Amino acid sequence: MSAPTKKLFLLDAMALIYRAHFAFSKSPRINSKGVNTGATLGFTSALVEVINKERPTHLIVAFDTGTPTWRHKLFKAYKEHRQAQPEDITTAIPYIKSILKAFRIPVLESDGYEADDIIGTLACQAAQQSFEVYMMTPDKDFAQLVDEHIYLYRPAFMGNSAAVLGTQEILAKWGVERVDQVRDILALQGDSVDNIPGIPTIGAKTAKKLIQQFGSVENLVTNADQLAGKLREQVVTYSQQGILSKELATIHTDVLLQFDLEQSRYQGPDPVQLKPIFQELEFRSLTRKILGEDLKSIKAAPSTQASLFGPPDKPCSSEAQVAQTPTLPLANTYTTRHQYHLIDTPALRKSLISYLELQDTFCLDTETTSLDPHQASLIGIAFAYYPGEAYYVPIPADYIQAQAIVGEFKELFESPTICKVGQNLKYDSRILRRYGVAVSQPTFDTMLAHYLLAPDRPHNINAMAETYLHYTPLAIESLIGRKGTTQKNMKDIDLALVKEYACEDADIALQLKQQLEPAIAKEQLTKLLYEIELPIMHVLTNMEHQGVQVDTNVLQEIATTLAAELQALEQEIYVLAGYSFNISSPKQLGELLFGQLKLAEKPQKTKSGQYATGELVLAAFAKDHKIVAKILEYRELQKLKSTYVDALPRLLSPTDGKIHTSYNQTVVTTGRLSSTNPNLQNIPIRTEKGRAIRRAFVPSSPDHVLLAADYSQIELRIIASFAQDETMIEAFKKGKDIHSATASKLFQVPIEAVDDAQRRQAKTANFGIIYGISAFGLSQRLGIPKTEATAIIEAYFQKFPAIKAYIDRTIHQARKQGYVTTLMGRKKYLRDINSRNATTRGFDERNAINAPIQGTAAEMIKLAMIRIHAWLQQAKLQSKLIMQVHDELVFDVPTTEVAHLQEQIPWHMKNALPLEVPVEVVVGIGKNWLEAH
């Protein structure tokens, strides 16, 4: 029997930490203490994955020390252009070292050397001791060390698969005869990140050709006379710089370190050390995965109590809770001594109702058969009005019997004085609407309250319970299992378990309200919560319940047309390519465009090594080859057909034949609404074929029409109002075309002389400025040189100095307080606004500019929706608000009410949130959405 393979994994710590940090940069992982744990989570997850999948026998992690190395002594400018290390990475490093210590994995670092040199040295030593060595890093420089027993291991990050590169893969990838020639290619092309100079004008492609021809940098320099023209001149002039660059790019393998076989042997983590670190970081999934347990409090045994229901002299008073509850954060406040009761007889229900009627606040939580509120049936309702106590009312499957039991609670749900509390109360309201009950204000939604307090954090009840109550609730998966064919339905679960689960949710939501309500007041978010977010929740409940009528015949007509056009396009593409291939395969498409047609000298590649063929990549080559334009057209039609034309009929409710989208209030941090199933916000409008889909959205009756009311250039009006820019305000007040007026200023021509190209550039600049567009971004959008884009931006700020002053003032304020606010006080937190890292700081600077504008626009349309909905009800009109898409509201209107709505809807929208500039609303009417728009 042969000896087991000895596998040594050498981890390049800083390269992995940086990769993990940026992998999570767009969706940061912030724990309850406000610490960004993304880099630590990403690094640890990658470590755990490689341990589980690759089963290394030995592990070592190498760090840089931050002190100058031999490379700095050789070349003082080495790495001098690197941006400052992001603060979140600085915070992460001590945690990661503690985790490695708990995993009993040695950490090595050596002053004067980089982690690359440590890994290179240990790799060579271990390979000589019959180890299979894997250098785990995203850094391409390590390719030079790959040998018969040394491999480059590229870890998986954010869905990308791991890759192992041996000698053959490196030779093929770099196009060299020997792996050590990787150093020569790196030397010639240089490295802007590490500030390795290379030889100017030589890129990766030319470097590869030169090394294939001459074998090394030294041989190239010696034989420079064989070159011609500018290339010869460059090599001769910068020959010593090229040789220096090779030395800088070379990983040294002679660090004074000795590979310790026993010290590096992997023995698994020490749970005693690891658990408290994971607790502090709130790594619950990793805890379950590694330690096989939950980070949760242990429930105490239920307390004994004289009566079934809480004492009537202890109502769940909102005022009392505010007075008794300190501000966040708190220690463990979850009431673990609890009593949850089953209310399964008419007498018990009557008694429960009598106690609920005495309260000024109670919490409710529905249990159902589905997450789709339009399809779900009630299983039961849990109530809580006193911490630690809750009551579960089971609901029979028969609809008539169910409606009767729900009806017993109707006066409570519709009470104008009792506050109804819930977690995602819109869902519960939608469910109860199907049983003839409307949950009315006053209400309190813990999910919405938390969204205002901490918009970037998770808003599910489990996460909030862990954060504010230091308690982990019973997971739904423990009852019904995880998603898949074996997952059970709640209706099939034992009643006693459902009772515990539902009562716990209601109890926790009630206790969370006690925590969140005073925090809302402290953060001055009361008006935003009670005048916008909670009222709009009720409006959205009605909109979702109402639904939208869709004409499937129109969709079928569009589907037939698109199918024929796709087939014709497919044949055109095959002719242009010279052969048939799978147009939807990124790999085959990349090989055609960049492998065979050579559209780019240095084509972009994905992390998996394939040619990048995304829309933005291909758009850059649309003018270079006819096939690219055809492929983009093919993709557009294919997406229209699959995403909308084919998908919409599948979303029609079997009950009423309508689409019942779900509007999300807690997804977009600026306050804008989003929607799912379907995503109405993404239904195309820019292209003719995309707009055609809107023909399928029709009124609910032949004697109705659709009325669409759309805010005109609302975000530009808001920034003009915020900045008090006289030129823009005057243009809006006089009803001028704002883009033509801007172009007139920018290009110094009379407004009537502005041509289409100038207006287009001004329009792009106008909207780009709102999003903090850079000169590079503007050049990309307009297809002009960066220098010209820079000139446009400079001219823009010269002509509109108040806009520039507003931007500067906003960024300054954001740096000072760490957030920006909308007109109604919504906060957008900007953790990296003072970062020393220019990339992360720039991202937050752009958010600082845009968030108050976009957020205020969101508040304006929400206020308009609230007031219009109230007016429609008070006036007892039959018209219904059925859709909200960006800055547009769509109504289903009887023809007899059209004139009335044409007059009143714009008035409510214009006056929802007064600005310094006039607000304009464009109204359209039609037999379908396209006509109305």
Lowest mean pLDDT among 166-180, 234-248, 284-298, 624-638: 284-298
Phi, psi dihedrals of residue 338, rounded to the nearest 5°:
-135, 165
The DSSP result for 807-833, as a single string, is HHHHHHHHHHHSEEE-TT--EEE-TTT
The token duo for 47 is 């470590």
According to the model, what pLDDT value does residue 812 have?
94
According to the model, what pLDDT value does residue 793 have?
87
Identify the sign of the CA torsion 868, 895, 544, 438.
positive
According to the model, what pLDDT value does residue 305 have?
34
Tell me the pLDDT band of 820, cut-offs 50, 70 and 90: very high
- CA angle, residues 166, 170, 173, in degrees to nearest 5: 140
Tell me the pLDDT band of 351, cut-offs 50, 70 and 90: very high
The token duo for 417 is 């004085």
**Mean predicted confidence (pLDDT) in 810-818:** 94
Lowest mean pLDDT among 6-10, 231-235, 554-558: 231-235
* Residue 611 DSSP label: B
Query: b or e along 607-632 (b: 16 or more beta carbons within 10 Å of the residue's beta carbon)?
Result: beeebbbeeebbeebeeeeebbbbbe
- CA angle, residues 450, 452, 455, in degrees to nearest 5: 80
According to the model, what pLDDT value does residue 308 have?
56
Provide the greatest CA pair distance for the chain: 103
The pTM for the full model equals 0.75
pLDDT digits (tens, 9 = 90+) for 45-60: 999 989 988 899 999 9
User: Measuring CA to CA, how many Å separate 661 from each of 202, 356, 549, 873?
Assistant: 55, 33, 11, 22
Amino acid at 296: K
Tell me the pLDDT band of 157, cut-offs 50, 70 and 90: low
**Mean predicted confidence (pLDDT) in 743-754:** 88
Lowest mean pLDDT among 54-58, 287-291, 407-411, 791-795: 287-291
Q: Is the pLDDT of residue 683 over 90?
A: no
* Residue 496 DSSP label: H
- Tally Cβ neighbours within 10 Å of residue 274: 23
Q: Is the pLDDT of residue 843 over 70?
A: yes
pLDDT digits (tens, 9 = 90+) for 767-812: 887 777 888 788 877 877 888 888 888 888 888 899 999 999 999 9
According to the model, what pLDDT value does residue 320 have?
30
User: Helices 756-770 and 775-782 sit at what angle, rounded to 10 degrees?
Assistant: 140
CA distance 129 to 150: 12
Q: Is the pLDDT of residue 335 over 60?
A: no
**Mean predicted confidence (pLDDT) in 675-691:** 87
Percentage of the chain beyond pLDDT 90 is 53
Nearest alpha carbon to residue 393 among 419, 367, 431, 361: 367
Lowest mean pLDDT among 63-67, 165-169, 517-521: 63-67
The token duo for 608 is 């998996």
pLDDT digits (tens, 9 = 90+) for 79-137: 777 777 888 999 999 999 999 999 999 999 988 889 999 999 999 999 999 999 999 99
Lowest mean pLDDT among 210-224, 363-377, 480-494: 480-494
DSSP H helical segments within 461-494, as ranges?
461-464, 477-480
User: Measuring CA to CA, how many Å separate 530 from each of 535, 556, 741?
Assistant: 7, 44, 40
The DSSP result for 227-277, as a single string, is S-HHHHHHHHHTHHHHHHHHHHHPPP---S----TTTTB-----HHHHHHH
Q: Is the pLDDT of residue 298 over 50?
A: no
CA distance 163 to 416: 62
Tell me the pLDDT band of 299, cut-offs 50, 70 and 90: very low
CA distance 202 to 185: 10
More confident residue, 333 or 841: 841
The token duo for 621 is 């080559």
pLDDT digits (tens, 9 = 90+) for 472-528: 787 777 677 766 666 677 777 888 889 999 999 999 999 999 999 999 999 999 999
**Mean predicted confidence (pLDDT) in 390-394:** 96
- Tally Cβ neighbours within 10 Å of residue 235: 24
Q: Is the pLDDT of residue 363 over 50?
A: yes
According to the model, what pLDDT value does residue 321 have?
32
Tell me the pLDDT band of 301, cut-offs 50, 70 and 90: very low
Q: Is the pLDDT of residue 327 over 60?
A: no
| Average pLDDT across the chain, whole number | 87
What is the signed CA dihedral for 591, 594, 598, 604, rounded to 10 degrees?
-160
pLDDT digits (tens, 9 = 90+) for 106-121: 999 988 889 999 999 9
Lowest mean pLDDT among 206-210, 239-243, 346-350, 598-602: 598-602
CA distance 321 to 318: 5
